[in-house]
Structure 1
Amino acid sequence: MRITLIIIDSGGIGAAPDAARFGDEGANTIGHVARYTPNFSVPHLAAMGLHRLVPLPNDQAVPLQGISFPVIPLANGKDTLAGHWEMMGIRIQEPFQTFPQGFPEPILTLLKQVIKRPILGNEVASGTEIIDRLGRTHLQTGYPIVYTSADSVLQIAAHEEIIAPELLYQWCKTLRDVLDEKQYRIGRIIARPFTGKPGQFARTPRRHDFAVKPPGPTVIDHLAAHGIQTTAIGKIGDIFSGQGFSRHLVTRSNYDGLEKTLAALDKNIDANEFIFTNLVEFDSHFGHRRDVLGYAQALQELDAFLPELWKRLGPDDQLWISADHGCDPTFTGTDHTREMVPWLVYGPRLRPAVGSSRSGLGDIGATLMALWQIPPAFPGNVAKPLLQR
């Protein structure tokens, strides 16, 4: 049996019950993309049940072929780590630190000790905007560009011809270790290589996230301990610091992630395997940049790819699609949005159904363990319709 879980990074389906606490009342990432994109249609996602969870005006008549649930997040946060970790049994109670005024002097001192040179920036900014604005100075001085966002991240951008990506990675890894030792709760240190000339700078696919390690074993660790192959595709390996995975495949784009997922399904036809894929461009390229049409096109590209994935499924295999949080490109600001997320499931032996809302992304991990008959060890309730054989 193989279970493939694809994450539409930021693919929310409407404000969560506690959205007001986060200032996100009215957010609906996929719903608003569908509403504001002419002729938008995702018939295969609709067949998996998306049209039963969020309005899809052009796909309402698509026959249901999968099982779908809306899922309410419970973690105390709306970032990447909060969503992915909650799915795999770790529910964040204390949010990671954020830095709306930039990083304080103690952290800057540690950073400069690691990189041994001054920095540019130290502000809350869009990555593309701050690189465009400070890139010329960076080329002249060799000083890296440091910035953060509404998330708990410390991002370091550097031109590949000025600071080699390998050196940038070394800085980020060392800084990760130093900050952890000093007990600064920063979720991710992110290396952001870029190329090009002033006015034409472009971030490259060589981004690398150095996330804080999960505070304990996850569902993935339990799967691996019971002989299940575990494959991370995209930034999944970074999110879990590689913990529990036997393979980690780096991707250049959403489409590359889908192709690597397809190749993984082609490779281990008879395996017991969990394939965990993140499609980050939904969030990084379209959600944060408020690109509604780009987000719509990416959803339609995913939708067009689904039949190829379905064809690779054996009798007991299942394809799951979910999300970690929202990032509504029609909403105010550029931050993530606190939303419910979809859980769409397709499997040759499953009977189509629409389930009621589930309380907590931990139900995903709990169901994974139940499918392989591993004793429960984490918060979450099993989705019994997925246990059909």
Structure 2
Amino acid sequence: MAYKRIFGLVMDSVGAGTAPDSVKYGDDGADTLGHVGHFYAGKLALPNLAKLGLSNLHGTPIEGVPVATDPHAYYGRMQEVSAGKDSMDGHWEMMGLPVEKALSTFPNGFPADIISKLERFSGRKVIGNRPESGTKIIAELGEQQMQTGDLIVYTSGDSVIQIAAHEDVIPLAELYKICEYARSLVNGPDYLVGRIIARPYVGPDAAHFTRTANRRDFTLEPTGQTDLDRLQAAGVHVVGVGKINDIFSGHGIAEGYHNESNMDGMDHVDHVMQEDFTGFCFINLVDFDAMYGHRRNPEGFGQALMDFDRRLGTVLANMHDDDLLLITADHGNDPTFTGSDHTRELVPLLAYSPSFKQGGSLGVRSPFADFGATVLDNFGVAGNGQGHSFLANLQ
């Protein structure tokens, strides 16, 4: 059947086990869901995700999440083909635009020409300039930044330039302007960077610094047309919740909502579900990644999953028979793994509608573009040949 509304929900960084190419990325053995479940020693309570088939799709059952004998959803996993493990790579690939060439990364910090241009444009000195956890580098250099007005510039294992500043020292408008300039420096050909991230923080001292919800991502403009563009061109209403608008630089999105947190994002989902429209709502919930994955906090990660699961119950109760919910992730970020970067993993795939007569396995789908191909297929929109729809499997 064709569904009137599709809700595509990305649990940012909630990986579902080692991918066949994980070793290439130094991530062999990473398993976000499995290791969080193990950390909780059987006390990870996810009843709504469990009945949809979350443990069914995982290679081995997740501790605390029982295998569903009669799963309400179709379940599987997806394998990425893009040359990276960043949010941009994952989301673009879902929407029919795999990233075929590896983006620039900076394991030794940024080259002098980028730093000198940033300093000249901003009139501020750059400090940091190394791969580091955001919370760690802000705790280390934040007080200096408050005293001098310098810019804390750092990166990670991903293709990203992050610029942090105290909101009382550098106003948000100025920080965003600096990030926009940084974006202009790395659009190729010498450097091609996925995201510039403004990382404002507040607090009186290192012991009390917290990063705020005024984070903003300045993402590389999509290098081609995406499934969001195709949907919009065909007259299908497209809603973006969370950092979707940033990841696609606003392309193909008619209605957008910025999230303050996962729970704020779920508030937006509840709001959109009350709207009468025909179309696709694409949602990203980033707290799993930003608050817990990068900070290697399995306890917080598990609690965030349980908080999400409770809110998922409301979503399931409010769905119409002609609604379809697709739940997935963009990459892994195993909070028990080494380092503080994303992990290359398979990602979960759950498909549910109240109209289903049964659930079942979708197997391992590759590329992620199967997700977008299914959305296009539902609305009768032609794609670009990337991905294969699984719409006909849903009954």
Deviations 1:242-271 (A, max 9, x none): 111011211110110111011111122xx1
The aligned residue for residue 216 of structure 2 is: 208
Using the size of structure 2 for normalisation, the TM-score is 0.95
The aligned residue for residue 22 of structure 1 is: 25
Deviations 1:40-60 (A, max 9, x none): 121111111111022223332
Contact map agreement 2:15 2:331 (CA 8 A) in 1: yes
Q: State the distance in 2 between where 1:254 and 1:385 align.
A: 32
Give 3-state SS (helix, strand or coil) of 1:70's partner.
strand
Where does structure 2 lack aligned partners over 5 or more consecutive residues?
Answer: none
The aligned residue for residue 382 of structure 1 is: 389
The aligned residue for residue 346 of structure 2 is: 340
Q: State the distance in 2 between where 1:211 and 1:27 align.
A: 27
Which of 141, 145, 150 is residue 152 of structure 2 equivalent to?
A: 145
The aligned residue for residue 41 of structure 1 is: 45
Please show how residues 6-155 of structure 1 align to structure 2 within 5 Å: 6-38=9-41, 39-54=43-58, 55-62=61-68, 63-155=70-162
Please show how residues 216-235 of structure 1 align to structure 2 within 5 Å: 216-235=224-243
1:8, distance to aligned residue in structure 2 (A): 0.9
Contact map agreement 1:114 1:175 (CA 8 A) in 2: no
Give 3-state SS (helix, strand or coil) of 1:146's partner.
strand
The aligned residue for residue 278 of structure 1 is: 284
Give 3-state SS (helix, strand or coil) of 2:253's partner.
coil
1:384, distance to aligned residue in structure 2 (A): 3.4
The aligned residue for residue 355 of structure 1 is: 362
User: 4+ residue runs of structure 1 moved beyond 6 angstroms?
Assistant: none
Deviations 1:177-218 (A, max 9, x none): 233266520111110111111121111100000000110110
Using the size of structure 1 for normalisation, the TM-score is 0.96
2:263 is the counterpart of 1:263: no
Which of 1, 4, 7 is residue 4 of structure 1 equivalent to?
A: 7
1:2, distance to aligned residue in structure 2 (A): 0.7
Q: State the distance in 1 between where 2:227 and 2:288 align.
A: 25
Deviations 1:369-388 (A, max 9, x none): 00011123241011134554
In terms of mean alpha carbon deviation, does 91-100 or 175-184 score higher? 175-184
Please show how residues 298-377 of structure 1 align to structure 2 within 5 Å: 298-350=304-356, 351-377=358-384
Contact map agreement 2:378 2:391 (CA 8 A) in 1: no
1:312, distance to aligned residue in structure 2 (A): 2.2
Contact map agreement 2:54 2:67 (CA 8 A) in 1: no
Contact map agreement 2:124 2:150 (CA 8 A) in 1: yes
| Distance 1:152-1:61 versus aligned 2 partners, 3 A rule | closer
Report the number of matched residues. 386
Where does structure 1 lack aligned partners over 5 or more consecutive residues?
Answer: none
Which of 169, 175, 182 is residue 168 of structure 1 equivalent to?
A: 175
2:257 is the counterpart of 1:249: yes
Give 3-state SS (helix, strand or coil) of 1:267's partner.
coil
Contact map agreement 1:67 1:345 (CA 8 A) in 2: yes
Q: State the distance in 1 between where 2:199 and 2:64 align.
A: 38
Give 3-state SS (helix, strand or coil) of 1:274's partner.
strand
Give 3-state SS (helix, strand or coil) of 1:357's partner.
strand
Indicate the RMSD between aligned Cα atoms, in angstroms.
Answer: 1.3
1:61, distance to aligned residue in structure 2 (A): 4.9
1:147, distance to aligned residue in structure 2 (A): 0.7
Q: State the distance in 2 between where 1:330 and 1:132 align.
A: 22
| Distance 1:89-1:160 versus aligned 2 partners, 3 A rule | same
Question: Aligned letter for 1:116?
Answer: G
